[in-house]
Structure 1
Amino acid sequence: MIKLCWQNYNEIKDQLSIVEKDWLFDKGSLTKRLIELSQNAFSLEILSEKKQFLREDEYTILNISSLQQAWVREVILKGNDTPWVYARSIILSDSIKENDPETLKNIGKQPLGSMLFNRGSFNRSIIEVTRYPKEIISLEYIHTYLWARRSCFKSNTQTILVQEIFLPEFWKANL
């Protein structure tokens, strides 16, 4: 079993470049920044959307039992048709209502960032980062550890864990 060591800004700031700090700890919408960086040539590819059991670091931060399933959405965020970010978002199954257009389960190709930042009803936890091992991501072109960040978004009725893993081509677009 792979254990991830998530750290806050003060614990890791000395290990990051200025560019890495800027992207990893930005509190605004990553989607909005990617749209700007790509000069509106942004797209989203859905890899998977299904109910499943979570990894230890995920059920721990969500404060749920390891026996509880959640709705998991995995997508690739692209700039100029190039994969930049692998995102894994988790919403607790108990707060998913069938046929409710407000839930993660029903947003389709719409970026999650649009839902979270445009509503104003979500509060964001602190951002934590880690080096994400390639073994966790099922993408054949990943050959190294990657910088990743996570935070929880909470409203009165929903808790959503958002994890964003920055792919190698993303950093090339930022140099």
Structure 2
Amino acid sequence: MRNISSLYSKEPTWFCNRLRSRLNIPNNAASWVFEAGSITQRLRNYYGQHVRVQVLNNTWQRSFISESRLLKLPQAKYSLTREVLLLVDDTPLVLARTILPKRTIQSAQHNLSHLGSRPLGEVIFSYPKLERLALEISHVSHRAWHPEIQQLTQIQQPLWGRRTIYAIHHHPMLVSEFFLPEILNH
């Protein structure tokens, strides 16, 4: 069977946002995990136009079981899966995985299915009625990442991450973001 993710072979363990105080998230990571606005915009505010997207995967495929459940999709249903690396110049900052169900793409007039190297955040945060429905947190061991991703990003420590359910016109999408060490310095 084909891998469900080009980032990791096994889905990370996710924790409910209500457990925030028990997770002992360092302040520098918490500032990114709990960022209410666009991660892309925050990066652009700091780095300007040096922020770029490297697309690692952009295919229709099945999601992990918990992703399908969160999106209320049958497990066998294919969704557009987009995995990217956000960089400033050549420094990796964020790994991201987005699950876009077909009905969400249709409700956004297909603006989400042809992003290319444009950041997702620039598109979805332009929708006036974008809703944030849920947030979960993860702390992912460096060994969980595929070797190619470890080499590309030089991951040598656990990464803090978040996954957020957003909705456009009441149609959900799931965005998972993992914060690499370099970003935690800002």
CA distance in 2, matches of 1:35, 1:120: 20
Which digits, 9 at most, give the CA deviation of each residue in 1:101-160, with x for residues without a partner? Answer: 643211222111111111213211232211124424550232332100111111226321
Q: Superposed, which structure 2 residues align to 1:16-165 within 5 Å?
A: 16-97=25-106, 102-134=110-142, 135-137=144-146, 138-139=148-149, 140=151, 141-156=154-169, 158-165=171-178
The alpha carbon displacement at 1:13 in A equals: 3.0
Q: Which amino acid aligns with 1:42?
A: V
Aligned-CA RMSD value: 2.1
Partners of 2:163 and 2:176 within 8 A in 1: yes
Cα distance in 2 between the residues matched to 1:93 and 1:136: 27
Question: Separation in 2 of the partners of 1:127 and 1:5?
Answer: 10
Moved over 6 A (4+): none
Encode CA deviations 1:30-85: one digit per residue, 9 max, x unaligned.
Answer: 10111122243211111110011111221121121211111001111112321100
Consecutive unaligned residues of structure 2, counting only runs of 5 or more, are: 1-9
- Give me the whole-angstrom Cα distance separating, in 2, the residues matched to 1:157 and 1:18: 32
The one-letter code sitting in structure 2 at the alignment partner of 1:24 is: V
Alignment size in residue pairs: 170
1:17 Cα offset (Å): 2.1
Structure 1 residues 52 and 118, CA, compared in 2 at 3 Å: closer, same or farther?
A: same
Distance of 2:71 and 2:180 partners within structure 1: 25
Residues in 2 aligned to 1:71 and 1:65: alpha-carbon distance in whole angstroms? 14
Residue 54 to residue 46, structure 1, CA distance change in 2 (3 Å): same
CA distance in structure 2 between the aligned counterparts of 1:96 and 1:116, rounded to whole angstroms: 11
Per the normalisation by structure 1, the TM-score is 0.85
Structure 2 distance, partners of 1:72, 1:31, is: 19
Q: Give the Cα–Cα distance (whole angstroms) in 2 for the partners of residues 155 and 144 of structure 1.
A: 34
CA separation of 1:87 and 1:25: change in aligned 2, threshold 3 A: same
Q: Is the 8 A contact 1:96 1:103 kept in 2?
A: yes
Q: Residue 41 of structure 2 aligns to which amino acid in structure 1?
A: K
Rounded to whole Å, the distance in 2 between the matches of 1:72 and 1:102 is 14
Match of 1:170 in 2: 183
Q: Partner residue of 2:19?
A: 11
Query: Aligned in 2, Cα 1:30/1:116: closer, same or farther, shift over 3 Å?
Result: same
Conserved? CA contact 1:42–1:81, under 8 Å: no
